[in-house]
Amino acid sequence: MTAVKKVPFHLTNTLTRKKEEFVPSDPPHVGLYVCGPTVYSDVHLGNVRTFTSFDVLYRWLTHIGYNVRYVRNITDVGHLLGDAADGEDRISKGARAEQLEPMEVVQKYTNGFHAVMRLFNNLDPSIEPTATGHLLEQVEMVQRILKSGFAYESNGSVYFDVPKYAEKHGYGGLSGRKIDELLANTRGTEGQDEKRSPLDFAIWKNAEPEHLMKWNSPWGVGFPGWHLECSVMSTKYLGSTFDIHGGGMDLKFPHHECEIAQSVAADGQVPVRYWMHTNMLTVNGRKMSKSEGNGFTPEELISGDHKLLDRGYSPMTVRFFMLQCHYASTLDFSNEALQAAEKGLSRLMAATDLLPNLRPAASSEVDVAALEQRCYDAMNDDLNTPVMIAELFEGVRIINSVNDGKLSLDQEGIDQLSRLFEAMVFDVLGLMREGAGAASDRVLDGLVKEFIHMRAEAKASRDFATSDRIRDRLLELGIQLNDTKEGTTWNKV
């Protein structure tokens, strides 16, 4: 039997725009930082897609033997509306709207975020730091940037001096932006007079008296700029240069570009070796977002209670739908695609359930090792989950043929296939069996309706012994039938 090659892993590094072999700086340790949610409202399904993509990265790196420290932050201050320098803080806006303390808003939506992550079977990160928990470190980083000469104080705020930095170190490499073009595209905005250049961004912002979240600092009362927290928290827990930094594509600019500039300016270190950016979940081609009004929450998705949804779908159906698309491609939401994913997932799970009962043959007609190798190759090729899933369906075809007695597989082959499915379906893709999920509920509903129909037929032919037996047997199984004027309904008891 040929041994399956499980490494090396290749990842598209968005910094170099190339697919590169992933070599950690201190194997077997891997440092992974992912920008977490801004906890001022419910997460929508687009956010879930991004965190699910990184969950699969985390699972895969762990599966191929790395010891991953996964840091995913909670943004609880500093992220302004419209990402502008002069917008209202998102958390403060939420607090005003809901008449809550800002920290109540933070707690409420952090809890909600955790519940959603669990629902979709996304693993907890190793560390989940908050921006407000790292204010001292942020102030210190501002001081280091001031000391290195790449920032200046103005009216109680501190701005990063982009043109000065760009001249020395270059700026825009990650996002492919050019300073001249950026300058040409800037419009006069309020508060800009404090800045030397419209490209400069606040690393510390002076707080107006009505501002809710503010702290004392060497520059007066204020709050940190949004980009600063990620620079501080990633390097605090993963070191001044760490392996992988991720986030949605929309964070490349300005957020991640500014992160690089801050770290280089403060500590003279390029912070990240591999950048990974995931693509967007869209609705009719438009990015799903809160402001577009085309975002729905996971709860709405499960209940089906939203204008975009024909009916409800289970969390694992949605996870499977997402993983059937490569993380770097856009994924357009549609009811048809979800229905297809539901069918595919139930075929996959049904085959997985058959595995323990397959009858071994004396010899094997199947090369399971080759199938296993193709699964590893797909995942090692930039986390190609759609190709890996297609390989698993080749496995499904084999399992069904063996079960039907049309193909022979020996005990060793069955064991190898079982291990492969256990690893890929559950550990790597993170799918779960859904006992009482939407799909199985629909099957149950269909079956009970069939019995109701049989009972009605028995009654019509005055076979009351049969009709009563159907009713009593269903009740023993926890299904109660109710005869009403409109017909017979059922419920679980």
Binding footprint of ligand AMP on the chain (CB under 6 A): 35, 37-38, 46-47, 49-50, 247-248, 250-251, 280-281, 287-289
493 DSSP assignment: -
Phi-psi region of 31 (alpha: psi -120 to 50; beta: other; left: phi over 0): beta
CA distance 249 to 220: 35
- Is residue 111 exposed (0-12), middle (13-18) or buried (19+ Cβ within 10 Å)? exposed
Sign of the dihedral through C-alpha 202, 206, 208, 211: positive
CB of 306 to ligand AMP, least distance (A): 15
CB of 55 vs ligand AMP, minimal distance in Å? 13
Residue with Cβ nearer ligand AMP (251 or 301): 251
The option from ligand AMP, Zn ion, none interacting with 46 (CB < 5 to 8 A, set by class) reads ligand AMP
Indicate the residue among 266 and 474 with the shorter CB distance to Zn ion: 266
Is residue 345 a contact residue for Zn ion (CB under 5 A)?
no
The DSSP output letter for 157 is E
289 binds, among Zn ion, ligand AMP, none (CB under 5 to 8 A by kind): ligand AMP
Nearer to ligand AMP, 228 or 348 (CB): 228
Size of the chain, expressed as the number of residues it contains? 493
| Least distance between ligand AMP and beta carbon 142 (Å) | 22
Residue 396 binds to Zn ion (criterion: CB under 5 A):
no
Asked whether the beta carbons of 142 and 134 are under 8 A apart, the reply is no
Q: Residue 167 corresponds to which tokens in the numbers above? A: 């001249």
Residue nearest to ligand AMP (CB): 248
From ligand AMP, Zn ion, none, which one binds at residue 112 (CB under 5 to 8 Å depending on kind)? none
User: Taking the complex as a whole, how short is the minimal distance between the CB of residue 38 and ligand AMP, in angstroms?
Assistant: 4
Query: How many CB atoms lie under 10 A from the CB of residue 298?
Result: 21
> Over the Cα atoms of the chain, what is R_g?
27
Which is it for the CA torsion 425, 426, 429, 434, positive or negative? positive
The pair of structure tokens assigned to 80 is 């302004």
Cα–Cα distance, 278 to 46 (Å, whole number) = 11
Which of ligand AMP, Zn ion, none binds 276 (CB below 5-8 Å, type-dependent)?
none
> Quick check: 230 binds Zn ion (CB under 5 A)?
yes
Question: Nearest distance from residue 52's CB to Zn ion, in Å?
Answer: 18
Q: What is the 3-state secondary structure (H, E, C) of 270-328?
A: CCEEEEEEECCEEECCEECCCCCCCCCCHHHHHHCCCCCCCCCCCHHHHHHHHHCCCCC
- For 344, half-sphere exposure in the C-beta direction (CA atoms, 13 angstrom radius) is 24
165/320 with CB nearer ligand AMP: 320
Q: Of the two residues 230 and 368, which places its CB atom closer to Zn ion in the complex?
A: 230
Toward Zn ion, which CB reaches closer, 230 or 431?
230
In the complex, what is the shortest distance from the CB of residue 281 to ligand AMP, in angstroms, rounded to a whole number?
4
**Minimum CB separation from Zn ion for residue 125, in Å?**
13
Name 305's Cβ contacts closer than 8 Å, sequence gap at least 6. 312
Residue type, 474: L
Nearer to Zn ion, 78 or 430 (CB): 78
Q: Output the smallest distance, CB 203 to ligand AMP, in A.
A: 18
With CB cut-offs between 5 and 8 Å by kind, which of ligand AMP, Zn ion, none does residue 230 bind?
Zn ion
Considering only residues 17 through 46, tell me which ones interact with Zn ion, judged by CB under 5 A: 35
Residue 288 binding result from ligand AMP, Zn ion, none, given CB thresholds of 5 to 8 Å by partner type: ligand AMP
Residue placing its CB nearer to Zn ion in the complex, 277 or 319: 277
CA 221 remoteness from chain centre: 35
**Could you list the residues that contact Zn ion (CB under 5 A)?**
35, 230
